[in-house]
Each structure stands twice: as structure tokens, then as C-alpha cells.
Amino acid sequence: MPLVATGLSRSFGKHPAVVDASLTLTPGTITGLVGPNGAGKTTLLLLLAGLLRADAGQVRVDDVPADSPALRAAVGWMPDAFGTWDSLTPHEILVTFARLYAIAPNEAAARADELLAEVHLSEHAHRPASELSRGQRQRLGLARALVHRPRILLLDEPASGMDPRSRVELRDQLRAAADAGAAVLVSSHILTELEEMVDHVVLMVGGRTRPAELGPPGWRLRLAGQPDSTAQLLTFDDDEAAAAHLAAVIAAGARVAEFTRMSSGLEQAYLDLHADRT
């Protein structure tokens, strides 16, 4: 278990930003962090990244209490807005960060080239970072977070400013990082995209966290010639069961016009966080 946070609290003056927050990040999984503006999500991420000291609570990595230096070594952190040294190039920025993680110069340069190709910025590698668009800066921010191959990846609104294609690639890159053994935590307001990539969801409101209780995703099955209003809504335990059902329907001679994965209820869970809002 790479990261377990228990009872984290942090106030700014008399304002409590995070209150007794707890969560667990597991290798190979992507966890979504969801809540309204002002819920304390960014403050919680900063605590987990070792960039802000908690007033109370503890973060453990591999069941060992982790101080700020240990967290910064284990964590890859992508803020919602990645500030760059505009006079440097993307390649120079990544090499600089790699060297800060004690990566040897030749390896740092190779890692920078690898990551710039991965986030499709190779053609901008040796141009001033001041020329990058908002979306390109976000992609550079992802590369920077990955530079030291972190075991824990924390991302705050990573898709902000990205075009649709870059968002799809981001989803694939985060899944690849999780498949390689990283524990990933993503905070995002783009619930439809978040729902497609996460394995677990933590809800946050008023500085407090709680796990989301989401049901299995629904599936919509519509046969050729069948009106939209009479399509079947089905649920299955997993994708394999859904695929098996579709194969059986087709084998029985039915002509399937639509078989679509639907929501597992993340949007409704978010709305329920502040159902009394007017």
C-alpha cells in the first residue's frame, strides 16, 4: 500500500480548509477526487504531495510515516496551472527537474526526450517555453510530474486547457501509469471523463472526505428498428459479463443497433453532495 492518509487537517487562520480527511491510494489504480469549488481538494493534494504541512493527521508510505522530503521523492505532482521558466525550453525544464531528483545528466536528457515525445511536444523541445499554449503547458506539466517515474501521481485538474484529443491521450497515459504500478489520484470537475478512467472515487465537501458509493455502470441495448424510448437498460458485474451478453444476443439473431456503456452515478453522487444548494 503506497500511500495512506488518516485524519489530515489544515486551517488557514480561522478557516478550516481540510478537516479530518482520510484516503488510501493503491498501486495500479486511479482514484478520482470530486467536490465543489472550495471543498479543500487542492489543499489536500498539497498535503499529500509534501508541499504543505498538516496541522494534524499523518501520511504513511509503505506503512512508514512520511515526512515532506520522503513524499516529494515518491510523488509526481501536477498542479492545475504549471508555471514555467519562460526563458528556458521544455527540454531544459525537464532536464532541470530530472537533475533535482539526482538523475544523471545523460539519463536526464534521454528522459526529457522520451517524455516530450510521449506528450507530443518534441517539435517544441528547443523553443522558449513562453511560446507554449495553455494546453501545451499542461502537457509539459504532466511530463514534469512523470520525470522521476513516481510511484504516486497526484494531479489537480490536469485536463484544464487541453483540447479533446489531448484529453483522450491524458486518460490513456494515466491508465498506462497505473498499469505500470503507480497509484494515481486525479482531481477534476470533468465528471464524464473522470468516470471513464477511475477505479475508485473519493468525495470531498467542507474539507471532509468520504468514499463514493457508486453502482456498477449501466448498459443501454437497442435493437435495429426499436425506438429510443424502449431501449433496454441493463447492468452487469463487469465488462466481460457485458461482452458475453452482447455475444449471446447477436448469436440469437438479433440485430443490435446500439450497445452503450452508461454512467455509474458519479454525476448524481456529486450533485448529492450539496443537494440543498439553490
In 3-state terms, what secondary structure has residue 216?
Answer: coil
Q: Sorting pLDDT into bands at 50, 70 and 90, what band is 86?
A: confident
The amino acid at residue 208 is R
Q: Is this structure's pTM higher than 0.85?
A: no
Task: Give the residue from 26, 23, 80 showing the smallest Cα distance to 47.
Answer: 23
Sign of CA dihedral 47, 50, 56, 60: positive
Calculate the alpha carbon distances from 153 to 143, 158, 186, 187, 276 in Å.
12, 11, 8, 11, 34
Task: Give the residue from 236, 240, 197 showing the smallest Cα distance to 219.
Answer: 236
The pLDDT of residue 263 is 64
DSSP state of 260: E
Q: Looking at residues 54-58, what average pLDDT do you find?
A: 95
Q: What is the pLDDT of residues 8-19, one digit of tens each?
A: 999 999 999 999
For cell 473519493, what's the residue? 202
- β-bridge partners, 234: 219
For cell 498499469, what's the residue? 179
Sheet hosting strand 218-223, strand order edge to edge: 232-235, 218-223, 256-261
Q: Looking at residues 228-236, what average pLDDT do you find?
A: 86
The pLDDT of residue 80 is 86
Q: Looking at residues 216-227, what average pLDDT do you find?
A: 85
The CA-based diameter of the chain, rounded to the nearest angstrom, is: 68
What CATH number has the domain spanning 3-211?
3.40.50.300
Q: Sorting pLDDT into bands at 50, 70 and 90, what band is 278?
A: very low
Q: Sorting pLDDT into bands at 50, 70 and 90, what band is 81?
A: confident
Q: In the chain, where are the structural domains located?
A: 3-211, 218-262
Q: What is the pLDDT of residues 143-199, one digit of tens each?
A: 999 999 999 999 999 988 888 888 888 899 999 999 999 999 999 888 877 877 888
Q: Across 77-86, 116-125, 261-270, which has the greatest mean pLDDT?
A: 116-125
| Under 8 Å between Cβ of 207 and 40 | yes
Q: What is the mean pLDDT of the chain?
A: 89
